[in-house]
Amino acid sequence: MSDGRALARTFLEQQRLLGTGWVVLPPPGISYDPPAGDLFSNDPISQARSVAAVAALVAECTRCRLCEGRTHTVPGEGPDDARLVVVGEGPGRVEDETGRPFVGPAGELLTKILAAIDLPRERVFICNVVKCRPPENRVPQYDEVGACAPYLFRQIELLKPKVILAMGGTAAQTLLDTKQSLGALRNRIHRFRGIPVVVTYHPAALLRNPHWKRPTWDDVRTAHRLLA
C-alpha cells in the first residue's frame, strides 16, 4: 500500500508542476485509510447467489416508475441449469396478471417454436429485459431499461447458458449495448460476456407479421445448432 501511495503522490506532484492546478497533498507521515471493502460490495444484485435470490429482489424493486402500475413482477422462469436463455422485451397484460413470462398469445407461439426444435419450454429459462409491465405495453424507456438490466445481467451470470436467444429489438439492443436495428443485428452470431447471442423477431411481431415466421425459424435453428 505504501508503494501505491508514493506513486500517487509523485503523479499528483507532476500534475501540479505541469500547471494542471493546485493539488493539496497530505503532509508526510499522514495517511488516509480507504473505505472498508469494495465500493460495489454492498450492491444486493451483485451479491445475489441464485436466480431465486434475484427474483426476490425483483419482487421488492422500486427502481423505476414501472413498479407503480404492476400487479406482479415477472422475473422469469426456468431451470437453473438451462442451456438456452430466451430474452424478450417486457411483460404484457397476461404476464402481469400471472407473474409468468410469455404466457399470452405470444408466449403460446414461443412454446410452439421451442417445441419445433425439440426443446420443451420447461428446459429453457425465459425472461424479459424489464420485469414489470410498461403501461399499454409500450416500449420500455431508456431509464427503465437501465434500472432493470442489472437483474437480467445477473440472471445470465448465474445461469451460464450456452446460448442466448434475443427476441425483439429491445432485448438485442440491451444485451449487445447497441442502437442498431433488429434487421441489422440478425444473421450474425454476437456475444454477451462470451456467450453466443442469436437475434430474432419477438413472437408478438410474428402475430402481426406472419411473413417474419420463416426468418425467425432460421434464427431459432441457428441457436439450436449452437446448443449441439
Q: Which helix (H) or strand (E) holds 54?
A: helix 51-59
pLDDT at 129: 98
pLDDT at 19: 56
Q: What is the mean pLDDT of each run of 10 residues along the chain (228 residues)?
A: 57 56 51 46 90 98 96 98 98 97 95 95 98 96 97 98 98 98 97 98 96 96 96
Are 84 and 227 within 8 A, CB to CB?
Answer: yes
The H-assigned helical ranges of 82-196 are: 93-98, 105-116, 142-159, 169-176, 182-185
pLDDT at 27: 53
pTM over cut 0.85: no
| DSSP secondary structure string for all residues of 175-207 | HHT----HHHHTTSEEEETTEEEEEE--HHHHH
pLDDT at 42: 80
pLDDT at 34: 44
pLDDT at 18: 53
Rounded to 5°, the CA angle 74-77-80 comes to 140
Reading the block at residue 176, the C-alpha cell is 449487445
Q: Which amino acid is at 95?
A: E
pLDDT at 37: 46
pLDDT at 110: 97
Count of residues in the chain: 228
110-123: buried (b, 16+ CB within 10 Å) or exposed (e) per residue? bbebbeeeebebee
